[in-house]
Amino acid sequence: MAYQKIFYRLILRPLWRERLRSALMVATVALGVAVVLAIELAGEAAAGSFRSSVETLAGSGDFEVTATGGVPAEVLARLVLLPHAFKLRPRIEDYAVIAASNRVVPFLGVDMLADAGANPGNSGADEFQRGGSIWVGKDAGWKPGSRVRLTVNDGSADYTVRGVIEGAGEAIITDLAPAARLLGRGSNLDRILIDVPPSRPADQWESILRAALPDGMTLAPRGARTEENRRMLAAFRWNLRVLSYIALLVGAFLIYNTISVSVVRRREEIGVLRALGATRLSVLGAFLSEAACLGLAGGIAGVALGRVMATACLRLVAATVDSLYVSSTPAPIALTWAVAVAGIAIGVLVSVVSALPPALEASRVVPVEAMARGRRDHDVHMHRWRDLALGAALAVAAGLASRQPPVAGKPLFGYLAVLLLIGGAVLATPALVSVLSRATATAAGRIFGVEAMLASRSLAGSLRRTAVLVGALSTAIAMLSAVGIMVGSFRQTVLLWMEDRLRADLYLRPAGPAGADRHPTLAPGTAARLQRIPEVAAVDQFRAYEISYNGLPATLGGSDARIAGRYGQRPFLSGARPADVFAQLPGRDHVIVSEPFANKHGVKRGDTLELPLGGRRIHFRVIEIYGDYSNERGYIIMDRGTLLKYLPDPSPSNVAVYLRPGANLEQGRRAVENALAGRKVMVFTNRSLRKEAIRIFDRTFAITYALEAVAVFVAIMGVAGALLALVIDRRREFGLLRFLGASTGQIRRIILFEAGLLGLLAEIAGVALGYLLSLLLIYVINRQSFGWTIEFHWPVTVLLSALSIVYAATVLAALYPSQVATQLVPIEVIHED
């Protein structure tokens, strides 16, 4: 028999007859592919093609010189005299806040005079020397002559746009002279970009440059910073990517289920076709082709949908990257052909692989056997105990995998443990379903009536189908609860940490959105003015610098150790008291480091860190490690006095104000605000700061929730599709029930009960699995990827409400199938055959 004919009879005709079911399957694949694609595209735009936004206008330079606290101007003078045809570009780099939009954009000081030599049309020195002149990148959208209000550090002023520069993104550009004056940089630069001629290999140029540079300068190939940031973001992107595959995994379950259902339903047809001479291979081919077609349609739709979803994802991902890691301007989303083809291929592959087991089964249908019904379900019955044992074995393997160390900084064994655990749970599902549904059948019948009993029996009867559905839905629920428990625990941990950590009454920082790698400063005299306020007991000035340690970005900070010692509450990880530890900081090259820093760099108490500071390489002893959840980059903290000794800029990045006991908070706050005299400073009370922190926390995890929601949505959609198939499949049964006198209401109730029971089983299995997965997430994957200590907490409210919504959605999803069932005309269905 011709393959086309088989394909038509077995596949195309049913596909068309059950358009809704086909559409649901395509949508399942499409959503799975879309989520994966959206996360990939958004991740690439936000972080992958990532360049720190200050890299704008950096061009394709070969090397760069940086130094903690700035590169002295004399270094540039030394380099320009070298007898080589280098191109040197000194830069001052910082950020400005656009007052109108509260957006943070790079603020760059470049040598506009030297560039004038390179760019015709750029006029003489007088124009860029004039105060208040700025040039802007094209993306900023301003025209020459526009007036723009900018906040730089804690000062705000109006500027006039003198010109627009191509390829500068949104950056604001001035000459070195006004930039240095505005930012109080004195004669220091932030970076010198160096282009070298091709006449020698790069490593020779590197050693020539290194020999010319004084100690304490960091010479790195250009883009090293970008590389560092990429490395830092790798774990974040990995976990995001893995999360995005959940929806696809759930989709795979549902495809498996749908194809299985259609194989079971078309057994007779297959048998007839086989009897008429169709080969096994052509039957297998027909079902795989069906899956491939659905996968192809789903893949194409998924790519289109993914492109749309990527825009929404990008906003969330970029916000996370910005608040937790590094200031970045997301690149435009780039959907390349390669990515699109890969997306479609994933759709086809997932669909074909999921369809393989049922398709193989279909090919094994013996012509004679075609008439016999229900044998396959019996098979599952027979194997469920064996599967349960296999599942238990997988769980044990998962336990073993969870004890393995990370591979190349990635918790690969952690992910493996997650997969093993899910696999184990899926294998255990038939046993669970059969036990539970049988157990509940009688009870359900007694409490809810005969419809409930019929529903339970029907589920237990078609065990295979039920198990797959429960498996898919419970996997989605498990991931939802696992991530929910992890994030909830994390949130609670952070709340408790803030309780201990934030002891001051008021916190000050320069206006504008905060970012992990941006440290705008307050005017140097701020603290002195605050100390004169009668209500103020103590003022702690904190200064932060961006540094690179062992090829990864980190933050170097200086805090007043005496004040921290006096007010500090939270013990160090070793249990040491703050007062004792902080007493050892002043006057010595001692530092404390944050837990993420210690984990990332394998630093222990008593270790020595070498840091290039102020033109020298200084050795610091790590005396303690402290718990910190404020960012993932990691902190090295020393006493303010020590920091000032090496980097003498007195401007603080943040100021913490402790009021006298009994002082009125509102009065203190007003007095502080008055003392700031028009500077652009944000004053947070202890409460508002915590609120702000938790707001950022929630924003950070919004993407995680969104991914979970999509996975659950896919699962619910699958449940709806499966129930619909169930109804169509059992139309004879329902017709018979109607014939025997069942009302349409009873039919409807049977189906709703089935959905309710299915949901209940899935939730029980899902929460149990989710609990185990959350342990993996908290203690293995998170620890190995990010190095945070999270205390386990049950986020009861969030979890209960999420599960209720999922449950309600599952039951609601049954409404349409039940409607279809009630519309069956009993006589017709019974006489169908």
Partner 1 sequence: MKIRVLLFALEFYRAALPGYHYEFPRDHFNHPEFQTEWWYYTGNLRDTQGRRFGFELTFFRQGVDRGKEPAAMWDVRDVWLAHLALSDIDGGKFLHTERLNRSGPGLAGSSLAQARVWNGNWNVQWDLRTNTQQMQAIDPRFSFKLNLRALKPPVIHGLNGVSQKAEGLGRASHYVSFTRLETRGTVVLDGRTFMVEGLSWMDHEFFTHQLDAAQSGWDWFSLQFDDGTELMLFRLRRKNGTADPYSAGTYIDARGQTTRLARDTFSVTPGKLWNQYPVDWIVRVPSLGIEVELTTRLPQQEFESKQNRYWEGAVEIGGSRRGAGYLEMTGYAAPVPSIIKK
- The residue ranges that bind partner 1 (CB under 8 A) are 72-74, 76-77, 80-85, 109, 111, 113-114, 116-120, 124-126, 129, 175-177, 179-181, 186-187, 197, 199
As a whole number of angstroms, the distance between CA 56 and CA 170 comes to 9
Measured from the CB atom, the residue of 180 and 479 that comes closer to partner 1 is 180
CB of 777 to partner 1, least distance (A): 51
As a whole number of angstroms, the distance between CA 219 and CA 222 comes to 9
Measured from the CB atom, the residue of 42 and 71 that comes closer to partner 1 is 71
What does each C-alpha distance from 373 to 69, 154, 224, 265, 350 come to in angstroms?
79, 78, 66, 9, 29
CB of 131 to partner 1, least distance (A): 11
Measured from the CB atom, the residue of 201 and 661 that comes closer to partner 1 is 201
Measured from the CB atom, the residue of 61 and 795 that comes closer to partner 1 is 61
Measured from the CB atom, the residue of 177 and 676 that comes closer to partner 1 is 177
CB of 208 to partner 1, least distance (A): 13
**Do 807 and 762 touch, CB atoms closer than 8 A?**
no
Q: Sign of the CA dihedral 121, 148, 312, 682?
A: positive
Measured from the CB atom, the residue of 193 and 671 that comes closer to partner 1 is 193
Q: What is the dihedral of CA 139, 145, 150, 152, to 10 degrees?
A: 90
Measured from the CB atom, the residue of 165 and 659 that comes closer to partner 1 is 165
Measured from the CB atom, the residue of 87 and 230 that comes closer to partner 1 is 87
CB of 160 to partner 1, least distance (A): 19
Measured from the CB atom, the residue of 165 and 811 that comes closer to partner 1 is 165
Measured from the CB atom, the residue of 188 and 700 that comes closer to partner 1 is 188
Q: What is the dihedral of CA 755, 758, 759, 761, to 10 degrees?
A: 160
**Nearest residue to 28 via CA among 476, 392, 601, 380:** 476
As a whole number of angstroms, the distance between CA 406 and CA 412 comes to 6
Query: In terms of C-beta density within 10 A (0-12 exposed, 13-18 middle, 19 or more buried), how is residue 608 classed?
Result: exposed
CB of 111 to partner 1, least distance (A): 8
Instruction: Return the structure tokens found at 29.
Output: 């694949």
As a whole number of angstroms, the distance between CA 635 and CA 625 comes to 10
Measured from the CB atom, the residue of 74 and 499 that comes closer to partner 1 is 74
CB of 188 to partner 1, least distance (A): 9
CB of 326 to partner 1, least distance (A): 27
**Do 729 and 349 touch, CB atoms closer than 8 A?**
no
As a whole number of angstroms, the distance between CA 683 and CA 586 comes to 28
As a whole number of angstroms, the distance between CA 404 and CA 417 comes to 10
Number of other CB atoms surrounding residue 192 within 10 Å: 25
CB of 519 to partner 1, least distance (A): 22
Question: Which backbone phi and psi does 622 adopt, to 5 degrees?
Answer: -85, 110
Number of other CB atoms surrounding residue 263 within 10 Å: 23
Measured from the CB atom, the residue of 222 and 501 that comes closer to partner 1 is 222
Query: In terms of C-beta density within 10 A (0-12 exposed, 13-18 middle, 19 or more buried), how is residue 85 classed?
Result: exposed
Helix 744-776 vs helix 815-822: crossing angle, to nearest 10: 160
Instruction: Return the structure tokens found at 20.
Output: 């809704």
CB of 517 to partner 1, least distance (A): 25
Measured from the CB atom, the residue of 74 and 580 that comes closer to partner 1 is 74
**Do 766 and 473 touch, CB atoms closer than 8 A?**
yes
CB of 113 to partner 1, least distance (A): 5
CB of 155 to partner 1, least distance (A): 17
CB of 89 to partner 1, least distance (A): 12
3-class SS at 802? helix
**Nearest residue to 154 via CA among 699, 689, 676, 741:** 676
Measured from the CB atom, the residue of 61 and 484 that comes closer to partner 1 is 61
As a whole number of angstroms, the distance between CA 483 and CA 481 comes to 5
The residues that bridge with 508 in the sheet, in sequence order, are 655, 683
As a whole number of angstroms, the distance between CA 753 and CA 763 comes to 15
CB of 72 to partner 1, least distance (A): 8
Instruction: Return the structure tokens found at 767.
Output: 């929460």
Kind plus residue range of the DSSP H or E element containing 559: strand 552-559
CB of 327 to partner 1, least distance (A): 24
